[in-house]
Chain A
């Protein structure tokens, strides 16, 4: 069982997974883009600007989910001290940061035609900015602290503190009066979004998830090689 999770086996599965994702990625991307830009209808209020949703919402979801995942793994790491977890969180963080920044930028591009402003110190937008700062803090600790154990501890603390921000982001639109609209898609209860828009949204989400998996696998592989290189120097 433990042999299954050895770095050698993981390395083998990374190769397999990467080639599988590469084979389906471009077809899915073409289908998702066709739905997002051509086949999906414009919104009755926002017109064609609603198409920004197909990149903005999945980016925000990935940004939030990545940080939640990092924080939960950091808690597990604090308790069980599993070295592999450090490699995983280190590989996910840059992806999460990238998508959080993309969510903010595309949100700003959506805000201008919808609200008439590029930026507002609104609860949802500000809390997303705070999330970006947590991501930067998490990544910076590995860059600037040479002691691996110390960097690992500090980054885990940052991730666990940052976890408080996740429900704030999620419920900010309900707790405060904000420019940002409340969630249209609810996991419990009915969504206020039509299926003709839900399909491209989930297709784009799937494509971006595959992209994340691809980047994660490459980063994770790089981290494994980095460890192997260190071990080689000990010889």
Chain B
């Protein structure tokens, strides 16, 4: 059963290569995209934290996105 699954009557190399290439490319792109997103979120939170208290207050009040990101990252920065 396992041997059949691996060798697939001589087509194993082609089938497994296709699925593995797909898997590795998709995994790589997922982690790269995730890393970039987290990097931008972190930088954005850092930039907000560097603003003066008044500016920070107005940004957080006017932007739901800013307040959401800030609440996630305020503990880590």
Determine whether the beta carbon of B41 is less than 8 Å from that of A113: no
Q: How far is the CA of A122 from the CA of B41 in the complex (A)?
A: 45
Determine whether the beta carbon of A228 is less than 8 Å from that of B19: no
> B33 is contacted by which of A38, A219, A225, A229 (Cβ under 8 Å)?
A219
Residue ID in chain A nearest B19 by CB atoms? A55
Chain B residues with Cβ under 8 A from A119's Cβ?
A: none
Contacts of A74-118 to chain B: CB distance below 8 A: 94, 98, 102, 105-106, 109-110, 112-113
Q: Can you list 30 A-B contacts with CB-CB less than 8 angstroms, sorted by A residue number?
A: A8-B63, A8-B64, A33-B19, A36-B19, A37-B5, A47-B9, A47-B11, A48-B9, A48-B11, A52-B14, A52-B18, A55-B19, A55-B22, A59-B22, A102-B25, A105-B18, A105-B21, A106-B22, A109-B21, A218-B33, A219-B37, A221-B37, A222-B40, A224-B65, A228-B44, A228-B63, A229-B40, A229-B44, A232-B47, A235-B59
Determine whether the beta carbon of A42 is less than 8 Å from that of B9: yes
Determine whether the beta carbon of B40 is less than 8 Å from that of A51: no
Give the Cβ gap from B52 to chain A, nearest Cβ, in Å: 9
For chain B, the bracket of interface size reads: 35 or more
Per-position binary interface string of chain B over residues 31-59, scored 1 when its CB falls under 8 Å from any chain A CB and 0 otherwise: 00110110011011001100100010001
